[in-house]
Structure 1
Amino acid sequence: MTSLQRSATAVKRAAASQTSSKQADEPIFLDPSDDTTFQSLKKLLSAPSSSTQHLSLLSDSTLYGSITFYLSKLELEHVAEFAGVISSSGCLWTPPPPANRPPSAAKSGTTSEKVTWTSEPGSSSSSSDKSVEVKSSPNLAPSSLSSFLISRSTSVSQAVAAALTKRVDLIVRSKKNSTGWATRSALSHYLNAVIQGIDDTERDSTPESYRAARGLPIPRFAIIGGLLNALYILKDQRKRTRDMSILEEMAALRANPSLGLSVRRPLSTIQDEWIVTLAEILDHLYARTTPSPGSDVADASARDDSDVDEWEVEFRKRTASVAGPASITSLASKRTLRAALSDVRDVPLYMAAQLAPLVPDRKIHALDPVQLTSATSDAILSLFEGPDGSSFLSSLAQDVHTQQCSGQQTKILVNPSGSTATILQSVLDSTLFPLLGPLSKLMSRALAKAVTSLTPEQISSLLLGTADAALETQLGDIEFFPLLIRMSRLSSRLEAAWLASPLAGAKEEEIVESSRQLTKQLWTTFKTVLFSYTMVFDSMMDALVDMCPSPTLTIPPTVGAEAEAQQSRRWPSASTSNLPQPYLLIVQHVLATYSHLYWITSTFGSDGFDVYRKVFYSALDVIGRDGEACIQLLELIAPVRVDPTDPSTILADALESNTAKRSSTTYFLNVAEQLVGVLPDQVVEQLVLPICRPYLENTRFSDTFESAHSVVLALYSNHKRCILNLAPFYVELLIASYPQRLTAMQFEYAMSTVVGAVSDRSDSVAWWVITRLAEEVDRERLSEGGAGEGDRGKSVQAGGFVESSGVTKGELEDALVKSDSTHPSDRAAGSSNQDNDTERSQTGSEVDAYDRLTHLQMCLIGCIPSVNLVLLRSALAKVEAYIMQHKQREASGLGSNAAEVDDADQQTGSSRIALCQKTFDAIQALNAATREEGLRWWLDHRVQFGV
């Protein structure tokens, strides 16, 4: 038996008896000079990497429990030495070779164990043993260097965190449960000793543990991460006690005095150390794997051995041993260096993603934003990119089939052993997949810093590469693409692969039972991609909005530019702005990327989810300030359907029945709705309306119909040139769509918007709309058989100006002063103390209580504020006829026996009050030119209406 084997056996034997053989008079801190167990552990950890198999003789609970115990118990002058041993141990940080696996290794397995230590007598926490959950890594040879280092780093970090928590308890106990200056000073000295011990191992040469980690200071990062985690937990626990009542807080402090210790300053110090270590890692990764934007990376093979340090020579040897028989020259190339470092790249990012939320933005922003963005983006995107650089769905077309099931029904089958299932499982099983949320957030914070610290040209170079990158075909290694180009490429290829498969738009019952679990996993991955993209864009868009010039200046196109546009471009010139062109290109690319992902977004509803809406509308707000940029965006995302029989023919008016394939059209219309105001009329008429029209004429696809309907409403709200010609078609569409596809509120809003817009252009068209609505009212009334021939003649009598029936000028002026008074229906009911807002909310909540006839009449009344003075009396005459019809029906019902008054008669009474309420509101909404005339009419008829 070798000396190292004897050391391992001694450590196991001593660790087994640590908790059972403690003496009551044991000192608080331990002098390891005469501790044979500690000396054996230290000797074992100090062994070179060639002896790593001896470490496998220890179970994970024994190894990490021993580290926790001694790191927390050692006297201060021995802490630095032990921390240095842990950090520099080649034996600890080198994976054991599979051929030399000890027989006992298989016993430990992969289960989670608890590292437990017993509190000394008299400790404030002696009532219970403290434990920390440690995910024990198998002692089997790891599947990759990355997985081994992640497992080892996590376990060491948790052991260090547990040691610090225990050390705080011991320090407080040694100070007689005081948490004052002396205790805080002792904690600072302990932390400084740990950091000093790590620094001492790096002073003379690179530790062997760092060499095992491809030169990255992963051991240092793991230890500092453990300190950071423990300090943050202590801070959070102390913060929670502040939210307790005084008695609860006193009881908590009595049970655990360490809760009263302030760790604000030590936490800030360790955060700084964590940032410095991460910066060193990024320097190492970025310098070797990421070229400067727009520059060529010189081949590393051109460098002489005399120009590299000792570690570089060692690194080349190690990469050569990893990669096999390849020559050193080829291994030193840009691609090979990146491949060698990719084995360990995920390790620091795995730890950084978990601990970055514990570090404030002002410290994260001290990191180089370009380096951090490059490292995190490559880690995120490479998960979803296929082996050929396309996407993980590149083989979907070959793996999806259809098969005949019972009842001659055709269902979709996904090959469970195909390439898609294999790649998907590797994505789900990857170490970074569960951490994509915090990793994307870290990347977003880096992008926010980049936007605020770099010039527009520099940020464009980072994200797009060149000014017109969106229109260029990118060549070369995909990992060196500019960020937004790479994201857009991935999203477009995901979209193309999915929409080309039978799974696109398929319902669950159309998929074979055995393939449903696989498709659910696919959708989990799709949504993860969408969430990651949205989180990345979130902080970036916030920063970009803040960096936009304020106020934004709109520059209208000149006459000369208009003439030039007629000759050299498809569309007329639009307005421009003082927004930097790189910002506009970035926003265009964000929205274009979302276009490729809308088949995923639409599963959350037409507007997606909260954070998506924030990013989406922020981007539209920015780009909507520049008309030229809006035109370019719409051309970029415009859906194009090709005739299957003739690929050269574009089907502009064709309907797409597949929901997933139709999503690009819906997204285009959603964007166009927000940008209509700055688009030239020619763009609206030749680009936007042809895409709207098929889904307005055929309303069976509700999602796209609603988007197209919103676009047309936006045209009327922005008074575009086409609104007069569009009015007959659109009004007929609205009438036909109510109430099947439009609610009463939507219908009224649309009709009043149309009337208001066309009234500025043509009173005759506005009156045609009112007349067409009145015809629909009459048709509905006659279909219900609610009025006789005489009533019908009275309801359609011509308008004209009616002479005032005794209303004096004083009464009119008094009515003008009191025009914001309560509704007359409330006076009739004896409840005149409610304000107008409450009344309107009540009316809105009760709007479904009325029949279609009443809703149509109320819609016509809602259009009254939008007509000009010349049409006001004529429109009000129709309103008068409607109210009187309801009053007459009400009177005929009241004249009968009370027992014979049916529900229809009661509905008539409530409808009359509702119409009067609506009329009163409409008159109050009249403008200065028509309000006096409207009030005069109201005073003339209010008694007649019975209010």
Structure 2
Amino acid sequence: MDRAYTNLLAQLHTTSPSLPLATIQSALAHYLANLAPLPTPLAATAVSSALYLAQPFTNEKLQSLLTAFRHAIHLKYRGIKEDIKTRPRIENLFSKSLNGALSSWVTDVVKGTQGGHHILRLSSLSGLLLGIHDLETESGTLSNRDQIQLGSARSALEDELIIATAEVMDAHSPRPTPESSGGWESEFQPSDRDVLTMALLVASHSLPLVSPTKLQILPLHSLIHLVVVTISSTLHSGKFLRELATSIVRQDEHLVHIPPNAPLAQTLRSITASPVLGSAASLTRLGAHSLRLLLGSRSTSRVTKGLSASMETLDILRDMAMQIEEDWNKGHLVDVLEHDIAPATRPITQAIWTTLKTLLFSVVMISEAILSSVVYIKPASSPYNQASTTSSELALQVLHIFSHFSFIISQFGGVTSTSPGFEQLKKTFYLALDILSQVDSASYGGQSRNSLPEDYVRDQSLFLQSPSFTNAPKSIKNSKKAIVLASIEQLVPALSEDCIREHVLDICLPHLSEVSHRETFESAHSVILAVFASHAQQRQRQSVVVSDRVDLLSAYSENNDFIKKMVPFYARCLIENSAEGKLITTQLRMAYSALVRCASASGLNVDTVPVEASTLAWYCIQLLVDAIQFKENIEVDQERLNRLLLMLISSIPSLPLVLMLQALEEIKSIITSLPPPSPSSSNTDDLTEKKIIEPNELVKALFDELIERVGYREKSAVMQWWYRNQLALSFQNSSNVSSEDNHGEVETATLPQGE
């Protein structure tokens, strides 16, 4: 017998091997792949060996056993391929194919693991399944003939893996007793908790690869419970930053210093040394996968368990998020830059942020799995009733968690940034808002007084006014307000006018002219525009349904005092924000166009405009015309005047026809009063960069609005106006513009030279 093989067996049968574990792992993988005639005896020896059974179990040994079986199948695959290449072709015709030989080997190894200790069986079978997945992925780009497809051998392997997992859960899962205090961690004995944690780390890599049909045999709701318990206990239920404030001292030059023996430093060392943090992604993936299977099941009882497990999971994550936010705000690392931290302390602060970001990733993965699944469950169906929860309540929990984690989310650019970043975070955030905004009060026992979106907005408004928040550091306040404003923007259609007036405006108004924090500034304007857009949509629906003029006037006047006060205020606000360094030209044009559309919403699609709608819409136009014509009343430079003119031009398509023609005359009057273009001026289309107004460029911008954005109903009238005034709007050095003939076909027309 091979002496090296004899030495391997000797090492496996002792609890104190003389060789390093890595060497034993490599030798085990080699002989599993090459032992003749069968690997069954060696596999049986491995899963019952004194080396791996030595108590207490360690994650290092379990991972070593997993890696040995994973590498073994790779080695066997290469060996079979080499044998096929070296054998004569005629011999290959009467030999097993690559898939057949590999399937036989896998079957033999699985037989050897039967009867071994459940923890070791779980580890070895997980290694085998991971190795098969590696080979399947590697050969996925090859032809069908060369792809790895093990069929029944893989199926049998998955069966044994499910059995081993069930045995581990049955032997080591928590069993609540009357003496237990009810806490998550109190349900465990320390030894069981450690063993179960290591088993979960092993299973988290392999169970997502098991067929969903077979995986549902396991008690998935209990598996989800165990995953959340493991993450929560590793992070001390979110209390790992509790000693942050007391652990920080100031050294010379006022540098932040955390002593190595400080309680916070010791806590972080225990967290970072735990294998759970390094395997958080795979653990979370297992929990998310299990939630999807439960919530996507056709069984009502399984869906009910999935909903209950989802709410329990989010409750735990929210409690952790609240605790972390509270401890972080009390600490002294807020607004501290890297150069203000002592060099010896930087590894500790990096460990804090690594832990926080890892937890955020886990929250996003689990939340996305829950929300993307519940959207397919019929509202008010029996699973919701039996679980005493709803999809909107789940979405609300997710939003609360994100709100608590706003200081971490800001490190990724926030949720409103259009630049590439944490895309899965944005997707989950807006998915939660979409679900919450669809709340129907009838689904909640007829409670129409306060819907869930209004409850959320009210709670956030009250929190933002609380002393604990107003006394918080500025960066904390900015990140919290940014995510709250982004939430409210999407929820506006589901909010009542009273909620908007009492809470939304209180949050937005202080930030409409404050540009120190750009995200909050732009989000506040987005919320106001969402309010106007929602009002415009409601009025347009009324104008379609109500055909009688008297009824239309009545509908417009009903409950319209709020908008009649808001429109003039926001029109002046936008003009003020046209100054340099505030809203950019594109934002101003879109915002003012939306404002005018709201003001004239009841006048669209009807021949006769209600007087109040006409007055309000024309007020917006006249206010802008006055700012342009009487620019000495406000500080208006040439660039700002460009922006104001473009705002006026962009408002044209938002007006009803009767006001549209009047506004066109005002624009004509302003453009014709401008001095002719300088021959040396650059001919560029970017008006935002011009120091001197180019009349021809304004004419082109006007023409683009008339062609591209004016509705078909008004197109004929405005084009007739265009042809009548084309000569008056032409200037020297004019450029070609596209015009549209009376039949709607686009042709090129050159403006005639001015005399």
* TM surpasses 0.5: yes
Corresponding position of 1:459? 306
Aligned to 1:734: 574
Instruction: Quote the residue 2:160 is aligned against.
Output: 273
After TM superposition, list the pairs within 5 Å mapping 1:807-818 onto structure 2: none
**Contact 1:72/1:166 (8 A) holds in 2:** no
Other-structure match for 2:198: 347
In the alignment, is residue 71 of structure 1 matched against residue 28 of structure 2? Answer: no
Rounded to whole Å, the distance in 2 between the matches of 1:665 and 1:605 is 14
- In the alignment, the residues of structure 1 paired with residue 290 and residue 59 of structure 2 have an alpha-carbon distance, to the nearest angstrom, of 26
The answer to whether the aligner puts 1:397 opposite 2:245 as a matched pair is: yes
- Deviation, 1:375, is 1.9
2:498 is matched with 682
Matched to 2:119, the amino acid is: I
1:590 partnered with 2:398: yes
**Percent identical across equivalent pairs?**
23
- Deviation per CA, 1:507-547: give whole Å up to 9, x if none: 33443444333222211221111111111112222111122
Selected match of 2:373 from 543, 563, 578: 543
Query: Within 5 A, what are the aligned runs for 1:233-382?
Result: 233-242=134-143, 262-263=149-150, 265-286=152-173, 288-289=174-175, 297-298=177-178, 335=186, 337-356=188-207, 358-359=209-210, 361=212, 363-382=214-233
Distance 1:526 1:92 in 2: 34
SS at match of 2:463: coil
Look up the SS of the partner of 2:256 in the other structure.
strand
Q: Return closer, same or farther for 1:379/1:785 CA change in 2, 3 Å cut-off.
A: closer
Alignment check: 8 A CA contact 2:407 2:476 kept: yes
Equivalent in the alignment of 1:875: 663
1:148 is displaced (CA, Å) by 4.6
**SS at the partner of 2:239?**
coil
2-structure distance, mates of 1:434, 1:624: 37
Given candidates 725, 732, 735, the residue that maps to 1:941 is 725
Q: CA deviation at 1:400?
A: 2.2
TM norm structure 1: 0.64
Q: Hey, what's the Cα distance between the residues in 2 that align with 1:593 and 1:259?
A: 48
- Distance of 1:374 and 1:169 partners within structure 2: 44
Structure 2 match to 1:889:
676
Q: Give the Cα–Cα distance (whole angstroms) in 2 for the partners of residues 914 and 418 of structure 1.
A: 66
The alignment status of 1:746 with 2:587, answered yes or no, reads yes
Q: Deviations over 1:43-92 (max 9, x none)?
A: 664x5xxx523xx134446533443343333334x532332122112344
Verify the 8 A CA contact 2:66 2:123 in the aligned structure 1: yes
Secondary structure of the residue aligned to 1:617 is helix
Counterpart selection for 1:197 from 112, 115, 127: 112
Aligned pairs, how many? Answer: 664
Q: Supply the AA of the counterpart residue of 2:277.
A: F
Q: What is residue 567 of structure 1 aligned with on the other side? A: none
> Offset of 1:677 from its aligned partner?
0.8
Q: 3-state DSSP class of the match of 2:249?
A: strand
Deviations 1:467-495 (A, max 9, x none): xxxxxxxxxxxxxxx32111100011100
CA offsets per residue over residues 520-575 of structure 1, 9 Å max, x none?
22112211111111111122221111224599xxxxxxxxxxxxxxxxxxxxxxxx
Say whether residues 1:719 and 2:535 are aligned partners. Answer: yes
Cα deviation, residue 614, structure 1: 1.0
Alignment check: 8 A CA contact 1:655 1:695 kept: no
Cα–Cα, structure 1 residues 715 and 641, in superposed 2: closer, same or farther, change >3 Å? Answer: closer
Pairwise mapping of residues 15-30 of structure 1 onto structure 2 (< 5 A)?
15=4
Cα distance, 1:657–1:496 mapped onto 2, change above 3 Å:
closer
**Corresponding position of 1:856:** 644
CA distance in 1, matches of 2:643, 2:667: 13
| Unaligned runs of at least 5 residues, structure 1 | 1-9, 16-36, 96-143, 211-216, 244-257, 292-296, 301-329, 465-481, 552-576, 787-849, 895-900
Kindly report which structure 2 residues correspond to 1:73-92, keeping only aligned pairs within 5 A, or say none.
73-76=34-37, 78-92=38-52
1:52 aligns with 2:12: no
Q: Which amino acid aligns with 1:852?
A: R
- On the 8 A contact 2:575/2:644 being kept in 1, the answer is no
Q: Which amino acid is the alignment partner of residue 656 of structure 2? A: N
Aligned-partner SS, 1:375: helix
Report the Cα distance in structure 2 between the residues aligned to 1:937 and 1:451, rounded to whole angstroms.
60
Match of 2:258 among 414, 420, 426: 414
User: What is the DSSP-based 3-state SS (H/G/I as helix, E as strand, rest coil) of the residue aligned with 2:331?
Assistant: coil
Code of the residue aligned with 1:190 in structure 2: it is W
- Alignment partners' CA distance in 2, 1:491 and 1:375: 19
CA contact (8 A) 2:291 2:306 kept: no
Normalised by the size of structure 2, how large is the TM-score?
Answer: 0.79
Say if 1:927 and 1:367 are closer, same or farther in 2 by CA, change over 3 A. same
Alpha-carbon spacing, 1:357–1:885, altered in 2? closer, same or farther (3 Å): farther
Map 1:526-675; keep pairs closer than 5 Å. Answer: 526-549=356-379, 581-607=389-415, 609-626=422-439, 628-638=451-461, 640-641=463-464, 658-675=474-491
Q: Which residue of structure 2 aligns with residue 919 of structure 1? A: 702
Give the 3 Å change call, closer, same or farther, for CA 352–779 of structure 1 in structure 2.
Answer: farther
The change in CA–CA distance for 1:872 and 1:228 in structure 2 (over 3 A counts) is closer
Q: Secondary structure at the match of 1:719?
A: helix
- List per-residue Cα deviations over 1:376-396 (Å, max 9, x = no partner): 2222222222xxx45210111
**Cα distance between partner residues in 2 of 1:643 and 1:862:** 41
Instruction: Give me the whole-angstrom Cα distance separating, in 1, the residues matched to 2:472 and 2:51.
Output: 63
Contact 1:171 1:186 in 2 (8 A): no
Inter-partner Cα distance in structure 2 for 1:877 and 1:336 = 78
8 Å contact kept, 1:734–1:747: yes
Shift of 1:360: 5.2
Question: How has the CA–CA distance of structure 1 residues 871 and 284 changed in structure 2, closer, same or farther, with 3 Å as cutoff?
Answer: same
For structure 2, which runs of at least 5 residues remain unmatched after alignment? 416-420, 441-450, 537-559, 603-611, 731-750
Deviations 1:688-708 (A, max 9, x none): 111112222544332222111
Aligned to 1:450: 294
CA RMSD of aligned residues (A): 3.7
Cα 1:148–1:921 change in 2 (3 A) is closer
Assess, with a 3 A threshold, how the Cα gap between structure 1 residues 904 and 359 changes in structure 2: closer, same or farther.
Answer: closer
Tell me how far 1:364 sits from its aligned partner.
4.1
Secondary structure of the corresponding residue to residue 438 of structure 2: coil
Q: Tell me the secondary structure at the aligned position of residue 606 of structure 1.
A: coil
- Aligned to 2:334, what secondary structure does the other structure show? coil
Tell me the amino acid that sits aligned with residue 35 of structure 2: L
Structure 1 position 363, deviation (Å): 4.8
Deviation at 1:672? 0.8
Q: Give the drift of 1:624.
A: 0.6
From the superposition, tell whether residues 267 and 176 of structure 1 become closer, same or farther in structure 2 (CA, over 3 Å): farther
The structural deviation recorded for 1:153 is 2.8
For residues 78 and 681 of structure 2, what CA distance do their matches in structure 1 show? 81
Work out the CA distance in 2 between the residues paired with 1:643 and 1:72.
66
Counterpart residue identity of residue 755, structure 1: V
Larger CA deviation: 347-356 vs 374-383 = 347-356
Answer whether contact 1:179 1:261 (CA < 8 A) is retained.
Answer: no
Secondary structure of the corresponding residue to residue 889 of structure 1: coil
Residue identity opposite 1:492 in structure 2: M
| One-letter amino acid of the counterpart of residue 305, structure 2 | Q
Aligned partner (choices 344, 347, 351) of residue 517 of structure 1: 347
Structure 1's 176 and 438: CA in aligned 2 closer, same or farther, altered over 3 A?
farther
Write the distance in 1 (CA, Å) between the matches of 2:466 and 2:220: 46
CA distance in 2, matches of 1:231, 1:452: 27
Task: Tell me how far 1:157 sits from its aligned partner.
Answer: 3.2
Provide the C-alpha distance between the structure 1 equivalents of 2:436 and 2:229, rounded to a whole number of angstroms.
28
Native 8 Å contact 2:395 2:435 kept in 1 = yes
Q: Secondary structure at the match of 1:547?
A: coil
